[in-house]
Amino acid sequence: MSDVQVITAREMGVVGCRRCTQVWPVGTETCGRCGKTLVSRDLKSLQRVWAWWIVGFMCYIPANMYPMLQTRTLFTVQQDTIVGGAVELLTHDAVGVALIILFASVVIPLGKFFAIAYLAISVKRKNAASFEQRQLLYEVVEYIGRWSMIDIFVVAILSALVQLNTLAAVHPGPASLFFALSVIFTMLSAQNFDSRMIWDVQARELGDE
């Protein structure tokens, strides 16, 4: 439990701009300095969070079922899904790279789905996890979500570079499109979350004591 007592802008009867931190009286509609719409609490933000979350999750399913890479060598054509490609790397003793791929393409996206869902649910109920921890979780989600794009860039580089006519050629598979969309949608989902709501529960609980 946080022992720091702070006064929030809402308690002061003011609203702070989330972009440029300029402070205005409650009821001001747009920030006169940077033009951002001012809201003390964005009540519709959870709806947007869930909407992007669902679309993102829907894209993540085909992203794992379709092949990410199609490798054609002299006599064989090989199609790899995300997990399949990582397992392939493991069998070739490239453990470090396989772990990076698995981490960026499986652990981070799945963790992000869980984390956003958890945060969105937690602001609605009295929760055991501390506010500092949830704020930290939110910041980690915002920061680390972009790194899932690694696999897309790997596919881009491989498909551009490995074009050796008949010898070997790499082509991107349909999963790359779905995976990129999934990353973009979950980034939008996280951006729409109003993190000030995490701390409102704190104020409510302290008030109850």
Which residues from 116-155 bind another protein, rule CB under 8 A?
131-132, 135, 142, 146-147, 149-155
From the CB of residue 63, how many other CB atoms can be counted at a distance below 10 Å? 25
User: In angstroms, what is the C-alpha Rg of the chain?
Assistant: 22
Question: With respect to another protein, which residue has the nearer C-beta, 118 or 199?
Answer: 199
What residues from 70 to 89 belong to the interface with another protein (CB under 8 A)? 89
Size of the site for another protein (CB under 8 A): 74
In the complex, the smallest distance separating the C-beta of residue 175 from another protein, rounded to whole angstroms, is: 11
Dist CA 121 CA 50 (whole Å): 10
Minimum Å gap between C-beta 154 and another protein is 5
- What is the closest distance, in whole angstroms, from the C-beta atom of residue 146 to another protein in the complex? 6
Residue 154 to residues 68, 104, 129, 183, 184, Cα–Cα distance (Å): 10, 11, 37, 15, 17
Q: Which of 44, 157, 205, 206 binds another protein (CB under 8 A)?
A: 157
Sheet strand arrangement including 168-172 = 77-80, 69-73, 168-172, 163-164
Q: How far apart are CA 71 and CA 82, in angstroms?
A: 13
**From the CB of 26, what's the least distance to another protein, in Å?**
10
- Which of residues 82, 101, 115, 116 is near another protein by CB under 8 A? 101
Q: Would you count residue 62 as binding another protein (CB under 8 A)? A: no
